[in-house]
Amino acid sequence: MKINILHAGYCTAPEHIAIHGGHWRNIRFPAMFALLQHPHFGPMLFDTGYSHRFFDETKKFPNRFHRWITPVTLHEEDLLINQLAAYGVRPQDVSRVFISHFHADHIASLPDITRSRYIYMPHAYAHLRNLPPFEGIKHAFMRGLIPNDFDDRSQEVDLSKPTLLSEKYAPFRKGYDLLGDGSVMGVELPGHALGQMGIFVRDEAEKLFFFVADAAWLKRSILENRPPHRITNLLFPDPAAYRETLGNLHTYQLTHPETLVIPSHCDETIRAQKSDLAPTLTILTRP
């Protein structure tokens, strides 16, 4: 597969919220998405980043709170559809979108991808379907970002058919073969959101990538096993599971240093890959 790591906009927040002992200054948290070009299934995406719909959905209360808490910047050239065009990919060409979880910064461009299948853990969305707006804001979920034909195009991960992972994925033991050919292996990363899913994929040079979504906001959190500020316990459905997942990521990265573990919002990680992985990996970032 050809793998391109991109991002559609970013928000800002104090670093000390994202990692215990961090600075009080605001830093950028890019809304990463990945373009995966499969030799058989064609272009696919892991998440979608922000879109203009985020601003439309946060004009009024209660969603307005989301915009206040995490101010978002999004330039026209950073829109998902414009970045895909730079690779010769049209929205209707995307065959699948692997949705890590349903927070607004991960799904805001779903309506732009007009023909794809949506692949996600069933419990990641089941509890959100009938939430009233004031409950939705607690989960960073905005119903207006869900396409009208979402259910028709959904392909929920079949949790009854797990794959026993080999030792090279330890301490992660159970995965899900999302395409049936072993090229995209999904794993559950609980704690930050119900049913949060990460994926293992390899590029053309057989380099292994582990996209871990929001299981950690910063790569340093994984390397040092440093969780976010305790105030985030109010945001997570299962803080204990979050800490366990972070510990597993820490163990995995230490024992598999050759794997590129990619959190969705770590600006430092994304910038580092730009120089380290070219030309097999292309990364677009804003200065």
Element housing 219 (H / E): helix 219-224
Contacting residues for 88 by C-beta, under 8 A, at least 6 apart:
none
For the whole prediction, is pTM greater than 0.75?
Answer: yes
Give pLDDT tens digits for 126-161: 999 988 877 888 888 999 999 999 999 999 999 999
The number of C-alpha atoms within 13 Å of 255 and in the hemisphere containing its C-beta is 12
Confidence at residue 132, expressed as pLDDT on a 0 to 100 scale = 84
Q: How many helices and strands, by DSSP H and E, does the chain display?
A: 11, 14
Percentage of the chain beyond pLDDT 70 is: 95
pLDDT at 280: 39
Q: What is the model's pLDDT at position 69?
A: 87
Q: Where are the domains of the chain?
A: 2-283
Q: CB pairs under 8 A, 24+ apart, for 183-186?
A: 183/1, 183/38, 184/36, 184/44, 184/98, 186/98, 186/119, 186/121, 186/157
Q: Which tokens go with 43?
A: 């272009």
What is the model's pLDDT at position 274?
55
Backbone angles phi and psi of 37, in degrees to 5: -105, 105
Q: What is the rounded distance in angstroms from the CA atom of residue 267 to the CA atom of residue 230?
A: 22
> Could you tell me if 99 and 120 are in contact, meaning their C-beta atoms sit under 8 angstroms apart?
yes
**2-283 carries CATH number 3.60.15.10:** yes
Task: Please state, in angstroms and as integers, the Cα–Cα distance from residue 166 to each residue in 7, 46, 146, 163, 212, following that order.
Answer: 31, 23, 36, 9, 18
pLDDT, position 277? 43
For the chain, residues with pLDDT lower than 50 are 275-287
